[in-house]
Amino acid sequence: MKTEPDGRVTFTGEADLPPVAMSFASTAYNKTGSWKYLEPYHQDLTPPCNSVCLAGNDIVNVMRRIEAGDLREAALLLLETNPLPSVTGRVCPHPCEKPCNRKAMGGAVSIRALERFLGDWAAREGVLPSPVPEALAPGDGRSVAVVGSGPAGLSAAYFLRRAGFSPTVFEAARETGGLLRYGIPAYRLPNGVLDLEIQRLAGIGVRFETGVRLGKDFYLHDLATRHAAVVLAFGKNATRGLGIPGENLKGVWDGIDLLARAKAGKPPALGGEVAVIGGGNTAVDCARTALRLGGKATILYRRTRREMPAFKEEIEEAIEEGIRIEYLAAPVSLSRRPGGGIDLRCVRMALGEPDESGRARPVAVPGSEFTVAVDAVVKALGEGVDLGIVPENLRKGEWRVSCDERRRTPVDNVFACGDCAGDEGTVADAIRAGREAAHAVASTLLDRPYAPPNLTRDRGASAEVAKFKRFNRAYFREEAGVSPSHRPASERRADFREVALPLGEEEARAEAARCFKCGTCVRCDNCHVFCPDMAVTKTARGYEIAYDYCKGCGVCVQECPRAAIHLRRAP
């Protein structure tokens, strides 16, 4: 009797055979893998939330860590992509929740509320992203100037620092934060929250210079000579006018100015009937601010609610608080009203053909003019970028700095991101833009071949988005989530304290547990335990399939709760 290297047992003849049918070896010699025509493989898919997060957060894996109670690990993971989680956890319109697969079984996971919970926890605990680049390789501590301390500038500085550079952020205002500090009312984003986030940046070595304005206190040329690179990240710094008679009357306020003064605790006296003109977040914020200052606010918008660019939630909260919205109305002129106040002359609009933005173009209805008597008018039509502060060759059109897809401006080693570079969008979008700019700076200064950032690829996930229909529903129960509670409208309209209330830790963990972890292997062991052929083994990193033995039954694929295993044709 001889045992071959492959485990086979052979006999030379009768003399060699045992007297009875008995075994001398395991069946491991028998490579049953040859039976299969399909074979399974583990491959994480992109969770729908991750697929739409502009900040690029690995939401599902953050959820896993919150669920497990590893808040520090969760925070560190979140800080990998998001330098401002307490901010986005409050003001992001959370597109991540919209495609959430949990929606069908108890409602989408409250991802934003969890982000706020985690961001606040991290701020309270003073969690710094890890590792903090002490040695400063590979950026080697080279200095980079960042102009503007709004979300894009903060993000660019954060990621530059983490890449080993020494960024200095130049801010024209007395305090950092840009739009976050001056443009978002305290009931949505208190300054204390922002301060802690910026403190974290300072904590890893980002330097700030405030009260210095590009184009006045220094010029781009100065920065370019003193720093290895410059990132332009300034925001919208000019309000659009109404372009109608009487817009400079006393009692007519600039929306951005109003919000800034209110946030700084020095609001103008605003009372009586206040008309807010516009349909964006600034308009809604102005109306809610006016309300909190004692006014009775009405928003005038020339289209309908469907076209309003303000976040849906913002609008809802405003209506809850008693704000009136006059749709399909546009101002025609303003005039002083005898005996005080302002006559606001308006015209009715109707929706016509779509314009270049794709929204229906409002058309004035002839003869439909009407006049409203108000005490104040707030102009909130939107803001623009004042390009006067940069050299002419950097301007592209009226409102943006010229830059290519690698965020390079026509001037060597000068990059741009954020509102000034046309990244008009949310804070999350600004975070993405800042990260891209940092990435571009690093590849240029380190002379690396440029490849666009791809977080999905870096995480080893496929770009395919995990669909609920491929999940094994047996592993999930219908379960209602926590809906982040709000203070009652009657109470909140009286002050500037936050509207949304925070989640407690238990609540947060329960909510994170509701997350399906779509398309993401969570080491549930189903593939390992149910494999009839014991072909799926556990490894330090996950699972390994012994294709020599896998018969291709597909049980592992079927029993994977969340579509992280797939079948392909066997070779």
Partner 1 sequence: MRTDCPDRPHFRLPNGGEIVSRGHLACPGCGIMPAIRFAMKVLGRRTVIVAPACCYAVVDGPFPYSAAGVPFLHSAFEAAASFASGVRAGLDTTGVADVTVLAWAGDGGTFDIGLQSLSAAAERNENMIYVCYDNEAYMNTGIQRSSATPRGAWTTTTPKGATKTERKKDLGAIMAAHRVPYFATATIAYLEDLTRKFAKARDLGGFRMLHLYAPCPTGWKADARHMVELSRLAVRTRVFPLYEVHDGTRFEVTLDPETAPLRDYLALQGRFAEMGDAGVAAMEDEIRDRWEILQRRAASSGRA
Partner 2 sequence: MTAPQAAAREGSAAASTRILTGNQAAAYGAYLSQVQVVSAYPITPQTTVIETLAELYRDAPWPSRFVNVESEHSAMAACIGASMAGARAFTATSSQGLALMHELLHWASAQRLPLVMVNVNRALAPGWNIWTDQNDSLSQRDTGWMQLYCESNQEALDTVIQAYRVAEQVQIPIMVVLDAFVLSHTAEAVSLPSPEMVRAFLPPRDPPFRLDVEEPHAFGGLLTPDHYQEVRAKLHRGMEDAIPIWGEAERSWEAFTGRAYDAVVPYRTEDAEMVLVASATVASTARDVIDALRARGKKVGLLRVRLFRPTPHDALRLALRGIPRVAVIDRNISYGHHGIFFQEIKSALYDLPARERPGMFGYVTGLGGRDVTRGVILDAVGRTLSRDRAEPETVWIGRKE
For residue 260, the minimal CB distance to partner 1 (Å) is: 46
Closer to partner 2 by CB, 2 or 541: give it: 2
With binding defined as CB under 8 A, does residue 569 bind partner 1?
no
Task: With CA atoms as reference, report the closest residue to 380 among 264, 299, 265.
Answer: 299
For residue 48, the minimal CB distance to partner 1 (Å) is: 17
Q: Of partner 1, partner 2, none, which one does residue 14 interact with (CB within 5 to 8 Å by kind)?
A: partner 2
- Exactly one of 20, 135, 451, 540 binds partner 2 (CB under 8 A); that residue is 20
For residue 565, the minimal CB distance to partner 2 (Å) is: 33
The residue behind tokens 């700084």 is: 264
Q: Of partner 2, partner 1, none, which one does residue 558 interact with (CB within 5 to 8 Å by kind)?
A: partner 1
Alpha carbon separation from 268 to 60, 235, 261 (Å, rounded): 44, 24, 7
Site for partner 1 in 447-486 (CB under 8 A): 472, 474-477
With binding defined as CB under 8 A, does residue 24 bind partner 2?
yes
> Can you name the residues that pair with 330 across neighbouring β-strands?
347
Q: Spell out the residues 6+ positions from residue 64 whose beta carbon is closer than 8 angstroms to its own.
A: 512, 515, 517, 520, 522
For residue 19, the minimal CB distance to partner 2 (Å) is: 5
Q: Which residue type occupies 425?
A: G
Closer to partner 2 by CB, 3 or 393: give it: 3
The piece of 16-24, 225-233, 315-323, 520-528 that touches partner 2 (CB under 8 A) is 16-24
DSSP string covering 372-398, please? EEESEEEE-S-EE--GGGS-GGGEETT
Whether the CB-CB separation of 407 and 391 falls below 8 Å is answered with no
- Rounded distance, CA 541 to CA 44, Å? 13
- Rounded distance, CA 113 to CA 83, Å? 17
- Rounded distance, CA 108 to CA 480, Å? 9
- Exactly one of 5, 6, 12, 21 binds partner 2 (CB under 8 A); that residue is 21
For residue 9, the minimal CB distance to partner 2 (Å) is: 11
Q: Of partner 1, partner 2, none, which one does residue 13 interact with (CB within 5 to 8 Å by kind)?
A: partner 2
The piece of 12-20, 154-162, 232-240, 337-345 that touches partner 2 (CB under 8 A) is 12-20
With binding defined as CB under 8 A, does residue 474 bind partner 2?
no
Site for partner 1 in 498-557 (CB under 8 A): 510, 513, 516-517, 522, 524-526, 529-535, 546, 549, 551-555, 557
- Exactly one of 2, 6, 12, 13 binds partner 2 (CB under 8 A); that residue is 13
For residue 546, the minimal CB distance to partner 2 (Å) is: 23
The residue behind tokens 């600034």 is: 282
Whether the CB-CB separation of 409 and 401 falls below 8 Å is answered with yes
Reading the block at residue 288, the tokens are 């809610």
49 SS3 class: helix
* Pairing of β 9-10 and β 360-364: unpaired
Whether the CB-CB separation of 194 and 107 falls below 8 Å is answered with no
Q: Of partner 2, partner 1, none, which one does residue 312 interact with (CB within 5 to 8 Å by kind)?
A: none
List contacts with partner 1 (CB under 8 A): 9, 18, 21-32, 35-36, 68, 472, 474-477, 510, 513, 516-517, 522, 524-526, 529-535, 546, 549, 551-555, 557-559, 561
